[in-house]
Amino acid sequence: MKVKLKVWRQKNASTPGEFKNYESPDLNPNMSFLEMLDVVNEDLTNAGQEPIAFDHDCREGICGTCSAVINGKPHGPHKGVATCQTYVRSFKDGDEITIEPWRAAPFRKAFDKIMQAGGFISIRTGAPQDANALPIAKETADLAMDAASCIGCGACVAACKNASAMLFTAAKASQLNLLPQGQPEKDKRVLGMVAAMDEAGFGSCTNQYECSAVCPKLISHDFIAKFNRDYIAATFRSAFQQAPAVTTGGGA
């Protein structure tokens, strides 16, 4: 099969970009989307043209590097898969496929700053314990694992009309906040990650849930609600701790 590609080309941030059209050579329907781009790039290179630049690493849906908007949807037409897990057979022979980058200014370095602000546990936990030494309810453990499945790909930001990073931040905080090991630094973590998110220039969440709709790991927007509750509680506790002590006078 063959497909037609409409690809956004832009040399750098200061250079105007434009869509350019390409036609693929013969493709195996079982190729992944990134393998298809490899084949197209081989033809472009042989013809002395600039190949299509795209990010990739593991190609197993784990690293979160493959950041492409395919036909207007981050990661492509399917639910719960990354770009590298999308296959040529997802399209029809002769289809025109539009490929664009994420449309959000803050992204990878900003994600790193959010993680540096609180996406870790700094307390000493000692040697690894036996699995049953610290009882954790299965429901809680499952939720923490769901949050931990976030690969930081940025699809949530790319899909959000406000370029909000709330789903990413909520997942990265919740995977720690839900577990006993994350409790001592919970308030500090939440407040720090929100401050870093705001400083990076991400927009506010308006609960449209485009983020969870395109997440390749199917992370629920329920984590945003939990994160908001944690943030409100942390804000009140922080304000209470910083308030000056009130003393009352008494007669001698």
The percent of residues above 90 in pLDDT, for the chain, comes to 79
Least confident of 100-104, 107-111, 132-136, 147-151: 132-136
State mean pLDDT over 142-170: 95
Average pLDDT, the chain: 91
Q: Any idea what the Cα angle at residue 115 is, between residues 114 and 118, rounded to 5°?
A: 90
> CA-to-CA distance for 228 and 238, rounded, in angstroms?
15
Strand order through the sheet with 96-100: 18-23, 4-9, 96-100, 69-70, 73-74
Calpha distance 23→5 (Å, rounded): 6
| Poorest-pLDDT segment among 25-34, 39-48, 50-59, 85-94 | 50-59
Condensed to tens digits (0 to 9), the pLDDT of residues 185-244 reads: 999 999 999 999 999 999 999 999 999 999 999 999 999 999 999 999 999 998 888 766
Helices marked H in the chain — which ranges?
Answer: 33-46, 108-118, 138-148, 155-159, 166-177, 186-200, 210-214, 222-242
Provide the pLDDT confidence category of residue 247 given band limits of 50, 70 and 90.
low
Q: In angstroms, rounded to a whole number, what is the distance separating the alpha carbons of residues 20 and 103?
A: 18
Is the whole-model pTM more than 0.75?
yes
For 64-94, letters b (16+ CB in 10 Å) and e give bbbbbbbeebbbbeeeebbbbbbbbebbeee
pLDDT at 20 over 90: yes
What domains can you pick out in the chain, each with its CATH number? 4-100 (3.10.20.30), 108-242 (1.10.1060.10)
